[in-house]
C-alpha cells in the first residue's frame, strides 16, 4: 500500500527502498516455510533495522518513519520465544536500540534527495503516525489474546508421563492440604 502511495507521490527512491525490503521479507518468509527459522528470523530483524535506518535517512526525521520502531519493539516479543531464549531477545533489543541511536544521529531532520518531498513532510508524518498507531494497537491486542489464551489453559503446568498434572508430593496445594488439581477434580464431580 505504501509503495503505491510513494509511486503516486513521485517518491521513487522511497518506493524502491520499500520494494527491496519487501523482497528480503519474502526471502525470510520462504526460509521460514522451509523450516530454517533461525536464518529467517535473523534476515527479518536485520532487514527491518536497515530499512528503518535507510528510510529515515532518505526522507528525513521530519517524515516520521522512526515512529515504526514502536510497533517493532512490541512485535519482537512475539517473534522471539522469551521462555526458550531470553538471551536472543536481549541481543535483538540491543541491535534495535543501536539502530535507533544510529538513526537519530545520522538522519537529517529534512532530506531533499527526492525533489518532490518538500511539501509532503506533514502528510508523510501523519501517515507514518497512523500506521504506527494501527500496528501498535493490533500487536498489543494480539499479545493480549495470546496471554489470555495461555492463562485459560487448564493444564498449563507441568504434566507427568500420562499427561496429567502432578499430584501428591511437589504438587501445588491449597489451604486444606489437598492438591489443587485434585481439589478441582473433586469439585467437578460433586
Going residue by residue through the chain (190 aa), what tens digit of pLDDT does each one get? 577 878 887 888 888 998 999 999 999 999 999 999 888 888 988 999 999 999 989 888 888 888 888 888 888 777 777 777 778 778 888 888 999 999 999 988 988 777 777 778 888 888 888 888 998 888 888 888 877 887 777 655 555 445 545 554 444 444 444 444 444 454 555 5
Q: Which three cell numbers stand for residue 52?
A: 528503518
Q: Where are the beta strands (DSSP E) in the chain?
A: none
What is the residue range of 6's domain? 2-152
Q: Which residues, in sequence order, are bridge partners of residue 173?
A: 179
Collapsing DSSP states into helix, strand and coil, what is residue 24? helix
Q: Is the residue at 77 inside a domain?
A: yes
- Cα 181 → chain centroid: 36
Check if the beta carbon of residue 6 is closer than 8 Å to that of residue 19. Answer: no
Q: Is the residue at 163 inside a domain?
A: no
Give residues with Cβ within 8 angstroms of 187, minimum separation 6: none
Burial class (CB in 10 A: 0-12, 13-18, 19+), 77: middle
Q: Is the residue at 84 inside a domain?
A: yes
Q: Is the residue at 176 inside a domain?
A: no
Total number of residues shown for the chain: 190
Q: How many structural domains comprise the chain?
A: 1
Q: Is the residue at 126 inside a domain?
A: yes
Q: Is the residue at 158 inside a domain?
A: no
Amino acid at each position: 500500500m505504501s509503495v503505491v502511495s510513494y509511486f503516486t507521490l513521485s517518491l521513487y527512491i522511497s518506493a524502491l527502498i520499500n520494494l527491496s525490503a519487501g523482497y528480503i521479507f519474502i526471502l525470510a518468509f520462504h526460509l521460514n516455510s522451509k523450516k530454517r527459522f533461525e536464518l529467517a528470523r535473523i534476515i527479518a530483524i536485520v532487514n527491518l533495522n536497515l530499512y528503518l535506518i535507510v528510510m529515515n535517512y532518505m526522507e528525513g526525521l521530519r517524515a516520521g518513519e522512526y515512529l515504526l520502531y514502536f510497533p517493532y519493539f512490541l512485535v519482537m516479543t512475539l517473534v522471539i520465544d522469551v521462555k526458550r531464549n531470553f538471551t536472543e531477545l536481549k541481543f535483538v533489543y540491543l541491535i534495535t536500540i543501536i539502530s535507533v541511536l544510529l538513526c537519530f544521529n545520522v538522519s537529517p531532520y529534512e532530506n531533499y534527495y527526492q525533489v518532490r518531498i518538500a511539501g509532503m513532510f506533514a502528510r508523510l508524518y501523519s501517515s507514518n503516525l497512523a500506521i504506527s498507531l494501527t500496528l501498535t494497537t493490533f500487536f498489543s491486542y494480539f499479545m493480549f489474546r495470546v496471554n489470555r489464551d495461555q492463562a485459560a489453559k487448564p493444564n498449563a503446568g507441568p504434566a507427568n508421563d500420562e499427561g496429567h498434572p502432578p499430584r501428591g508430593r511437589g504438587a501445588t496445594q491449597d489451604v486444606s492440604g489437598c492438591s489443587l488439581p485434585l481439589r478441582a477434580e473433586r469439585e467437578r464431580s460433586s
